Chains A and B, each alone.
Chain A
């Protein structure tokens, strides 16, 4: 049983950790493209970049089957309510990646005179990881997903590389 925010009512300790490990390594993203970044999201899932290596390549068209929403593109004011509804339809626990400058802050399309867009996905839904770029390269999206894994489990694949770098 879970509360509305996705925070569980009862913490199950070790079991929770094991569950998180499973969740982090089988993130199911939603097939949800808004604009240009969606093409790079497709490229990340296709032959060369192969998101399946990280267990995150099972793109599901229905929000009911997903636990990861990749907001890939500009959110127009007309699309805003649909984004919120899609997020609410996803079962908890759920995570959001804001991919590209438009989803982070409105990107190149936001300026004082602009009337059409929502400057940032975090004005509508809670965002876990921001991946900058216009559009980000597929490697950028993969790093974002690895960061999200780190956030879910508390330990990540990237940490190993960072220790080596230091």
Chain B
């Protein structure tokens, strides 16, 4: 233990790999002086499954289901990113209806991810009831997505050139009904959580990240928006049909844990706005591009595509050498970058606050380890 630069006068505490607040199998090696943390060292790799290695051994289409399992909470954004990368290599034009369906399902998935995070995060902080509320709402989204994608969690819905199955009017009506339902629940969440004194005491002024640190560590997603930088790929480098919709980017002011919570909480409303506009304006037409090759064999070249996932910027760097399998596929995952700030902000905090900070980063460990 001591060979890793730990000093003998402090004692070492292992948080994880089995710890309920590490959201999976993350291990954090803490160097403690009394109750205070002197050094926090995340140890990753407990969820390594070799996705990138698999990509080089699979055809393009065979690798598609893997993307639902990299970050299983916002699987559809990952699906979309991979499809966009391959479409860019193949120079395919996705029909507009398919793009609208992608945006609706992707935003529904984003709300599901944020709801799960809110539930699980408050569970970390000791509140059990919001967990049940959030999962109740989340199940409604899963019903809708189950209807079009056929699965509850690890979706594999998009294909190169569009989507395989069309949505029906019941699904579109269901999206609107869900938007009404979630809005009617805001009051519950606000009374239960946002005004809760214990919650405010545990989150305000904890784990402050300055905008400079955000840039230094390459943070993305709600982590960077919580510190007041309005960086969102959907606005900064628009993709798909996002420029057609009117939505805002919620930002925080102080960059503490509470701000990051509020950013995610308010993002759900913006996603609802996108869904409603998309449902109103969805055009009729084909859902698959014409002339999609049966055998995917892109011309040699390389491409980088990034999307805004629930945790931040997710990017795929894809190199093709004209084979049926990618030559190299690199996944740029948001959780890895976001976790790198932990040793910096965990110093001089209590262990109980570390749980609040670690939860607010919203890591998905199999995504970090890939």
Interface residues of A (CB under 8 A from B): 31-36, 38-40, 42-43, 46-48, 61, 63, 73-74, 76, 78-79, 82, 86, 108-109, 111, 113-117, 134-135, 137
CA–CA, A63 and B20, complex, Å: 12
Some 14 contacts from A to B, beta carbons below 8 A apart, are A35-B69, A36-B153, A39-B73, A42-B120, A43-B135, A46-B132, A61-B19, A73-B366, A78-B46, A108-B66, A109-B49, A113-B53, A115-B50, A134-B154
B135, A46: Cβ atoms under 8 Å? yes
B153, A40: Cβ atoms under 8 Å? yes
What residues of chain B lie closer than 8 Å to A48, measured between beta carbons?
Answer: 135-136, 139
User: Nearest residue in B to A43 (C-beta to C-beta)?
Assistant: B135
CB of B369 within 8 A of chain A?
yes
Tell me the count of chain B residues lying within 8 A, CB to CB, of chain A.
36
What residues of chain A lie closer than 8 Å to B132, measured between beta carbons?
Answer: 46-47
Q: Known interface pairs A47-B135, A135-B154. Does A109 touch B54 (Cβ–Cβ under 8 Å)?
A: yes
User: Nearest residue in A to B51 (C-beta to C-beta)?
Assistant: A109
User: Nearest residue in B to A113 (C-beta to C-beta)?
Assistant: B57
What residues of chain A lie closer than 8 Å to B25, measured between beta carbons?
Answer: 33-34, 76, 79, 82
What residues of chain B lie closer than 8 Å to A113, measured between beta carbons?
Answer: 53, 57
Q: How many A-B contacts are there with CB distance less than 8 Å?
A: 98
Task: Return B138 CB to nearest CB of chain A, in Å.
Answer: 8
Task: Return A155 CB to nearest CB of chain B, in Å.
Answer: 31
B57, A76: Cβ atoms under 8 Å? no
CA–CA, A36 and B50, complex, Å: 15
CB of B47 within 8 A of chain A?
yes
A47, B47: Cβ atoms under 8 Å? no
User: Nearest residue in B to A63 (C-beta to C-beta)?
Assistant: B18
User: Nearest residue in A to B142 (C-beta to C-beta)?
Assistant: A43
B49, A116: Cβ atoms under 8 Å? yes
- Add 5 more A-B contacts to A42-B116, A42-B135, A113-B53 (CB < 8 A): A38-B24, A46-B119, A79-B46, A79-B47, A115-B53
Find B49's partner among A33, A74, A135 (CB 8 Å cutoff): A74
